[in-house]
Amino acid sequence: MSMLQLATWNVNSLKVRLPHLLQWLEKNPVDLLGLQELKLTDDAFPVQELTMAGYGAVFAGQKTYNGVAILYKRSTMPTPVDVEVNLPSYPDEQQRVIAATFGDLRFISAYVVNGSEVGSEKFEYKKAWLDALLQDCSQWVKTYPKLALVGDFNIAPDDRDVHDPASWAGQVLCSDEERNRWRALLNLGLTDSFRLFEQPDKTFSWWDYRMLGFQKNKGLRIDHVLLSEALANCCTASIIDRAPRKWEKPSDHAPAIATIQE
DNA sequence: ATGGCTCAAAGATTGAGA
């Protein structure tokens, strides 16, 4: 019987947030961590600092925006193999997906398109991108019985995940077009690990920097750990850790962690 | 009041995020 902790965190600039990441990992030595919004090129990825902290990494960065990574604890995880960057069915210059296999576990870190606003060109990109994710996921769940898809999905699955559902109704992150695609993802056989358990009301993973969003808990739950059936069946906890959102110069996202008891 | 803050590129502002 061994325990595995799978996590995700949109750090909003790894360069700025590296001290927070290292501090968080010290208190939360998770086995696998998907990162999003690195906002740096691969030559600037802090390999040395993470190695010192006991973590290996595979990563796909770019200048200015996007960028994703998977960190793995070297003392507990085998070396990653079959590293794949991007969605096979959606060639893209934006670095939004990285996947790797650790033993018999396939772990995918994704940064879903934001979409700007419903009806915009970026929203069309988001829908097409999500459709590609759905297509590729339908293959992955067949190939990998133990599959974890984690990341910033930029979708609040239902009204429980929104501080003010009325004002967000139909808006980007909450629209039917996005939520229908979220449900289609779950229908492929993935489980929102957070909803396997009783959770406090108004638990969110993102709060706007403006308007005292965090202080007023005006947030959304858009960062998720999705598990295939085999993993969901032995998931014993799934939480969002608000703590680092209170630190000085925080990311606007908080990490989410699922615990697996194998 | 459709802004408010933060980051990256710039080297003053602007685009992007959600």
pLDDT tens-place string over residues A6-35: 999 999 999 999 999 999 999 999 999 999
CA nearest neighbour of A12 among A21, A2, A25? A21
Concatenated DSSP letters of A51-78: HHTTEEEEEE--SSS--EEEEEETTTSP
Is strand B in 7 Å reach of the CB of A27?
no
Give the contacts of A157 (CB within 8 A, at least 6 positions apart): A179, A182, A192, A221, A224
What pLDDT is stored for residue A262 in this prediction? 84
The pLDDT tens digits of the residues spanning A29-86 come to 999 999 999 999 999 999 999 999 999 999 999 999 999 999 999 999 999 999 999 9
pLDDT exceeds 90 at position A224: yes
pLDDT by residue (tens digit) across A139-186? 999 999 999 999 999 999 999 999 999 999 999 999 999 999 999 999
Nucleotides of chain B within 7 Å of a protein C-beta? 3-9, 16-18
- Whether the CB of A64 is less than 7 Å away from nucleic strand B comes out as yes
Q: pTM, whole model, 2 decimals? A: 0.97
Spatial CA neighbour of A164 closest among A118, A218, A223: A218
Is the CB of A211 less than 7 A from some atom of nucleic acid strand B? yes
